[in-house]
Amino acid sequence: MTPAAGPSRSHTATLTDVARLAGVSVATASKALNGRSQVRAETRQRVVEAAERLSFRPNQLARGLLAGRTGTVGLLTSDLEGRFGIPILMGAEDAFGAGEVAVFLCDARGDSIREQHHVRALLGRRVDGLIVVGSRTDPRPSLGRELPVPVVYAYAPSDDPADLSIVPDNVDAGRIAVQHLLTCGRTRIAHITGDPGYLAARDRADGARAALADAGLALVDEPRFGAWSEGWGRAATALLLDRHPDVDAVLCGSDQIARGVMDVLRERGQRVPEDVAVMGFDNWQVLTSGSRPLLTSVDMNLEQVGRAAAQALFGAIAGGAPRSGVETLPCRVVIRGSTAPLS
Amino acid sequence: MTPAAGPSRSHTATLTDVARLAGVSVATASKALNGRSQVRAETRQRVVEAAERLSFRPNQLARGLLAGRTGTVGLLTSDLEGRFGIPILMGAEDAFGAGEVAVFLCDARGDSIREQHHVRALLGRRVDGLIVVGSRTDPRPSLGRELPVPVVYAYAPSDDPADLSIVPDNVDAGRIAVQHLLTCGRTRIAHITGDPGYLAARDRADGARAALADAGLALVDEPRFGAWSEGWGRAATALLLDRHPDVDAVLCGSDQIARGVMDVLRERGQRVPEDVAVMGFDNWQVLTSGSRPLLTSVDMNLEQVGRAAAQALFGAIAGGAPRSGVETLPCRVVIRGSTAPLS
DNA sequence: AAACATGCCGAAAAGGCTTTCAGCAAGCTA
DNA sequence: TAGCTTGCTGAAAGCCTTTTCGGCATGTTT
């Protein structure tokens, strides 16, 4: 057998082949394989066996062409390397994969020209719907209302309220984080967070302030906005301790920041969590599980965001009542060693 | 306009519509839009305008049905959450996206049943080829030789030498890492690495030993295998310093381990890099850029692995000479603050 | 003016599948 | 036995595009 002439070259079995082998017409073969009722059991059996023998796989292209539905969706992401897109993508893939939907993955790399290109290509392939995953929770431009298929935005909401967007509830995230710290008996809580240009940073700070206000308290100092990095966590902590040595909890805008904060606390002789409790956001395993002690963090349930987006899209494709607006999903606190009740 | 009856419902334009609007036959319309030469310039112009007006997008399903090629490939990954799959996926998506190929993403979650299911589904959709991305460099079971489309394995090689696999060269990675440390004038080099069940750990250790042997040196102590975690890095470093306080470099099997190593070195009063140089593997940004000093690391060029796999698959689809066996791609040292010449 | 080449265009088939509808045989009732 | 219902099966149309090939109107040559 020559290298190029394996079974690879043998014409893939088609329904006609199956029908011929089973001694029936293609129509009957089709009905037999699809569980239609107008086929005698014995005939169906023959067809099924023939299909088996030829390892027949119905051509989804032909099927999609006929049905007008392809059973495919496009997943448009702006940054794959960012860590937020992945869990969402997993959740969506999971929700679809359970059914019989296949996912086209496209990375626009944050470039709207590329994005437009991908949208056109996906429409050419007649996807049944689109999920758009952003890298930040700040609103992003809508793909427009003129698309021939439903679209769901995940993580980054569309700026058009007529679109449906699924996002984590960052305000509530800030609130539950503070509530956890209050539950631990902390009252002198500082907030060190990232780039104020990010809505997520502002939302979380707002939620944190609101929860404190509900308890008749306030943040120690204003929230310190900076960068989403360990370095900023370290720098801000040094400043914080100089001005407020009596702080008993630091809520950090990200796990990276929290790592920097914990490093400096340790260097300054503050024990975590005995003297100062520390919390992060994102629940990024590589960071939370490597720190000493393990880091308590707020998980944004991104996988669930992905799943919810997939389900919403599914519903829209099936023709359910169209939803719109920004729907938020709750976050959850994952408690580890860096927070504990004051003893 | 009722909510359900937007332009969404308006029948997507088809070539017939374009032809009718332009006052030509579908055959002519097709030729005009595809740059075939047997069309008068003026006629072509009319057709193009009509297509524009109707925002016509040729149906790729029909096209694929006819051509026998769909311009799609399946990307089968075993673990999306693992950090190795993503860059490979990005590289592949990039290499394909440049052309006109769309990528079906499937996550098998490490389950071979799921994997089989996905393969069948993808074949049903008549993908032109398959890329299989593993989560470890240990060989994995082949998908088999009987598939009707070419397959390329990335990161995790197939156990069938008849298949083509693209993997990073971990042995060489260990070698170049040690060479860098030698260049920095280090001679008492220890190796703390991860789970010995991983081929990557053993390969890197082998490469490191080989490079040292070439220089007439040997590792300080045997490589310390353990886990891919900061915690192990800390524990192993404590042991190491007790037995070999004169060590002047630690080569770590991953960036996580390296972070743990650096933490304990600092605690024990060893300066990095003045007293002890530290290197990691993987060049994982979140870890390398958060440490003090910034961490030198070996980058496995995973994006390039993905690109190379995509290109190989592309070649195989186009019918080029079939390649087979395991092809390795070189890694590269990314020098940062944690390694420096002895002064 | 006849014969020919040339340039454009359109009818039709193909690709694989599903669905509709007509046809046919067998079994039943009157 | 004629007429009817039931139960299966198959022919054919349709989904959308590309490609082949025949045909028609020019323009060109002798």
Quote the pLDDT of residue B5: 31
What CATH architecture applies to the domain A170-299? 3-Layer(aba) Sandwich (3.40)
| Secondary structure tally for chain B: helices H, strands E | 12, 11
Interval A303-318 mean pLDDT: 96
Interface contact flag, A105 B75, Cβ < 8 Å: yes
Task: Answer whether residue B2 shows pLDDT above 50.
Answer: no
Task: Kindly report the average pLDDT of chain B as a whole number.
Answer: 93
Distance CA B185, CA B188 (A): 10
Q: What is the CATH number of domain A71-168+302-330?
A: 3.40.50.2300
pLDDT at B270 over 80: yes
Q: What is the distance, to the nearest Å, from the Cα of residue A343 to the centroid of all Cα atoms in its chain?
A: 38
- Strand C proximity: list residues 189-218 of B with CB under 7 Å: none
**What's the rounded mean pLDDT across residues A9-38?**
88
Farthest CA pair distance, chain A: 88
Q: Assess whether pLDDT exceeds 60 at residue A5.
A: no
Q: What is the pLDDT of residue A221?
A: 93
* Whether the predicted pLDDT of B8 surpasses 50: no
Give pLDDT tens digits for A221-251: 999 999 999 999 999 999 999 999 999 999 9
| Cβ contact A33 with chain C strand, < 7 A | yes
Give the per-residue pLDDT at B10: 55
Query: Among A158, A194, A189, A211, which Cα is nearest to A282's?
Result: A194
| Residue A7 banded pLDDT, cuts 50, 70, 90 | very low
Please check the confidence at residue B3 and state whether its pLDDT lies above 50.
no
Mind telling me how many Å the CA of B199 is from chain A's nearest CA?
A: 21
Determine the topology of domain B70-168+302-329 in CATH: Rossmann fold (3.40.50)
> Both tokens of residue A82?
């960012």
Question: What is the CA B65 to C1' D7 distance in angstroms?
Answer: 35
Q: Which of B105, B150, B259 sits opposite A105 (nearest CB)?
A: B105
Mutation choice for B interface testing from A123, A286, A295, A307 by most B CBs within 10 A: A286
Whether residue B6 is predicted with pLDDT greater than 70 in this model: the reply is no
Q: Specify whether the CB–CB gap between B334 and B283 falls below 8 A.
A: yes
pLDDT confidence bin for A10, thresholds 50/70/90: low
pLDDT in tens, B49-98: 999 999 999 999 999 999 999 999 999 998 787 789 899 999 998 898 87
Chain segment A58-67, per-residue pLDDT in tens: 999 999 999 9
Using the CA of B59, give the nucleotide whose C1' is nearest. D16
Nearest CA in chain B to A118: B97
From the CA of A28 to the C1' of C20: give the distance in Å. Answer: 13
Question: Are the C-beta atoms of A334 and A283 separated by less than 8 Å?
Answer: yes
Name the nucleotide with the smallest C1'–CA separation from A65. D15
Give the chain B residue nearest A260 (alpha carbons): B290
| pLDDT > 70 fraction of chain A, expressed in percent and rounded | 97
Closest alpha carbon within chain B to A78 = B90
CB A277 within 8 Å of CB A251:
no
Structural contact between residues B288 and B278, judged by C-beta atoms closer than 8 angstroms: no
- List the single range of A120-129, B179-188, B315-324, B328-337 with lowest mean pLDDT: B315-324
Q: A71-168+302-330 with A170-299: one CATH topology? A: yes
- Architecture per CATH, domain B170-300, reads as 3-Layer(aba) Sandwich (3.40)
**Which residues of chain A make contact with B106, given a CB cutoff of 8 A?**
93, 97, 102-103
Cβ neighbors of A166 (< 8 A, separation 6 or more) are A152, A153, A154, A155, A305, A308, A309, A312, A327, A328, A329
Six-digit token string for B75:
């990307």
B280 has pLDDT over 60: yes
In sequence order, what are the residues at sequence separation of 6 or more whose Cβ sits closer than 8 angstroms to the Cβ of residue A75?
A89, A92, A93, A103, A104, A105, A106, A130, A131, A133, B105
What are the boundaries of each domain within chain B? 3-58, 70-168+302-329, 170-300
CATH node for B3-58 = 1.10.260.40
pLDDT digits (tens, 9 = 90+) for A138-170: 999 999 999 999 999 999 999 999 999 999 999
pLDDT winner (highest mean) among A41-50, A200-209, B314-323: A200-209
- Of all residues in chain A, the one with the smallest CA distance to B292 is A231
- Residue A48 approaches strand C within 7 Å at CB: no
Q: Are the Cβ atoms of A103 and B102 closer than 8 angstroms?
A: no
Average pLDDT for A99-112: 91
In the structure, what pLDDT confidence band is assigned to residue A99 with cuts at 50, 70 and 90?
confident
Nucleotides in chain D near protein beta carbons (<7 Å)? 7-12, 14-21
